[in-house]
């Protein structure tokens, strides 16, 4: 049984200025973020990363590169083989996109500081 294990919020800078839009997953300014969540996180298509991570992208308040994103995603795929991110809400402001994400999965391995703990 899968159960929620975390709530994540990330801000991705995708460049350019745009007029205010309704925050949909298909908005041009939100598309790199939604592709990152759907194609990379949910389907393991790591080759997409350089196409959707802009220079200077922010994730959990820190700048990261395409290589950083790939290492993090692969680590999570190893630790949570059945995980899934769901985009609950998108916030658009100029060239910035913020997403409220829910995550479900069963931790089977270690990922960074997230260590498997025996629940017995």
pLDDT tens for each residue of 61-71: 778 888 888 88
Q: What is the mean pLDDT of residues 94-104?
A: 84
Say whether 61 sits in a helix, a strand or coil: coil
Please indicate whether residue 10 or residue 23 has the higher confidence score (pLDDT). 23
Residue ranges with strand state E in the chain: 4-13, 58-59, 62-63, 84-93, 96-104
Cβ-contact 87, 34 below 8 angstroms = yes
Q: Is the dihedral of CA 4, 44, 115, 8 positive or negative?
A: negative
Burial class of 59 by CB neighbour count within 10 A (0 to 12, 13 to 18, 19+): middle
Residue percentage of the chain with pLDDT more than 90: 15
User: pTM of the entire structure?
Assistant: 0.69
Judged against a pLDDT cut of 60, whether residue 37 lies above it is answered with yes
Closest residue by Cα to residue 13 from 92, 74, 67, 88: 92
Judged against a pLDDT cut of 70, whether residue 2 lies above it is answered with no
Retrieve residue 112's tokens.
Answer: 């960074």
**How much is the mean pLDDT over the chain?**
74
């Amino acid at each position: 049984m899968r159960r929620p294990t975390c709530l994540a919020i990330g801000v991705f800078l995708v460049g350019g200025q745009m007029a205010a839009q309704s925050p949909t997953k298909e908005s041009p300014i939100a598309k790199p973020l939604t592709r990152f969540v759907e194609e990379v996180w949910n389907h393991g298509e790591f080759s997409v990363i350089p196409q959707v991570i802009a220079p200077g992208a922010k994730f959990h308040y820190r700048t990261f590169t395409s290589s950083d994103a790939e290492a993090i995603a692969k680590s999570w795929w190893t630790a949570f083989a059945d995980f899934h991110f769901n985009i609950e809400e998108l916030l658009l402001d100029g060239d910035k996109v913020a997403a409220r994400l829910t995550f479900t999965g069963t931790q089977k391995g270690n990922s960074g500081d997230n260590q498997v703990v025996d629940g017995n």
